[in-house]
Amino acid sequence: MIKINEHYLKLKSSYLFADIAKRIDRFQKDNPDKEIIKLGIGDVTLPLPLACLKAMHKAVDEMGVSESFKGYGPEQGYGFLREIIAQNDYQSRGARIDSDELFISDGAKCDTGNIQEIFDTNVVVAVPDPVYPVYVDTNVMAGRTGTFSNGRYQKLVYLESTRDNNFIPDLPQSPVDLIYLCYPNNPTGATITKDELAKWVAFAKDNKALILFDAAYEAFIRDPELPKSIYEIDGADEVAIEFRSFSKTAGFTGTRCAFTVVPKKCRGYNAQGQEVELHALWNRRQSTKFNGVSYPVQKAAEAVYSDEGQKQVRSSIDYYLTNAGIIKEKMQKLGFECTGGENSPYIWIDGKKDSWSFFDDLLNKAGIVCTPGDGFGLCGKGYIRISAFNSLENVEKAMERIEKAL
């Protein structure tokens, strides 16, 4: 008899975005002639930067010639990409991160989900609320969370993020082992200052905890005073693993490329309380379960850091930030309190009613898809998230429709 992993049965019935897709499908079947504008999921709409496209084409040509053909690449990623990332994203900002502490992957979603494999199933996990569902669901699958009851998993520590604390949660009142943080935040669009982030680093040091810092949206930060990396905080390389992505930065959602930083100073502990290097554990996991990102894709990612690539990437980010500003301004004029939309592609909106009801109203009355805050946790009740990832034309049209509908 083949037995299943029964922790999967503790998961909520379906993934948030699968629920949304089902509602959209029903609406389209009932209204086949009505145009839908999707401002829900964080999928980009602009094409790859030209510099990346050129680099990818060149790399594909190299794969067609014996002398330059590439087979299996290094699991940790090619040196040319890791070196340019370390120089531009970290060392240039005063962060002491070396290229051999980076791991190239096919997505931050994969890495934030897979990283929990290297930790004991009994560690105490703290997650923000509202939260990106992958952090929670992967720990449910691993058996760390207990059962789901009254909107929460019994063994998780929820870090409540509300308007009262500017969507930056208070430090836990009791010791925790593994802490998920995401800034600029998905879903709330909130950002965190260096001083606020330093408190979390100090807490992690005092409690021998580890921070899993999701910085997938750092490219949207325009305020020079805000940290783009947790490693801008002294000592963070001892207590934090950081996740980055080219998906939103350079439109790689369909191309797939990201990276995770696991500093060699980062330590976990075995059953006897002895220190263990986390870098070595993640390297072992990746070399066993992952064959690396394709050479053409890594060459395309390298081109992000060229002068041409940097200009094109900044132009794309500016485009989405313009969309975000339009959305936030319109929703505020309609009387809704909003967070995000500045230094972030997401606008978190207090809908003043049930999240799914607001979602249905926008879909049925305006043909607009958003994301209901309920799907991100109890603290998301009454909120919706609107994404800036669409064309300027569609965003302007969507705001006109919303104004008429509301």
Q: Where are the alpha helices (DSSP H) in 293-389?
A: 295-303, 307-333, 355-361
Question: How far apart, in whole angstroms, are the C-alpha atoms of residue 394 and residue 63?
Answer: 39
* Residue 183 resides in a domain: yes
Question: What is the CATH number for 206?
Answer: 3.40.640.10
- 218 and 168 in one domain? yes
- 179 and 99 in one domain? yes
Is the pTM above the cut of 0.85?
yes
- What is the extent of the structural domain holding 352? 6-47+310-405
Amino acid 14: pLDDT? 64
Cβ atoms < 10 Å from Cβ of 23: 16
- 372 and 258 in one domain? no
Question: What is the CATH number for 317?
Answer: 3.90.1150.10
- 203 and 261 in one domain? yes
* Residue 218 resides in a domain: yes
* Residue 118 resides in a domain: yes
- 278 and 346 in one domain? no
How high is the mean pLDDT in each 10-residue block of the chain (406 residues)? Answer: 95 76 92 93 93 98 97 96 98 97 97 98 98 96 95 97 97 96 98 98 98 98 98 98 97 97 98 97 97 97 98 98 98 98 98 94 96 95 97 98 95
Amino acid 17: pLDDT? 75
Residue at a domain's end among 307, 336, 363: 307
* Residue 1 resides in a domain: no
Question: How far apart, in whole angstroms, are the C-alpha atoms of residue 216 and residue 261?
Answer: 12
Query: What's the structural domain count of the chain?
Result: 2
- 13 and 89 in one domain? no
Amino acid 98: pLDDT? 98
* Residue carrying structure tokens 């082992």: 177
Instruction: Tell me if the bond preceding 263 is cis, omega within 30° of 0.
Output: no
Q: Where are the alpha helices (DSSP H) in 5-132?
A: 16-30, 50-62, 79-85, 108-114
Residue at a domain's end among 271, 291, 307: 307
Residue at a domain's end among 269, 292, 307: 307
Cβ atoms < 10 Å from Cβ of 147: 11
- 239 and 372 in one domain? no
- 188 and 41 in one domain? no
Please give the backbone phi and psi of residue 291, each rounded to the nearest 5 degrees, phi first: -100, 10
* Residue 221 resides in a domain: yes
Cβ atoms < 10 Å from Cβ of 251: 22
46-91 pLDDT, tens digit per residue, is: 999 999 999 999 999 999 999 999 999 999 999 999 999 999 999 9
- 194 and 334 in one domain? no
- 352 and 328 in one domain? yes
Amino acid 13: pLDDT? 64
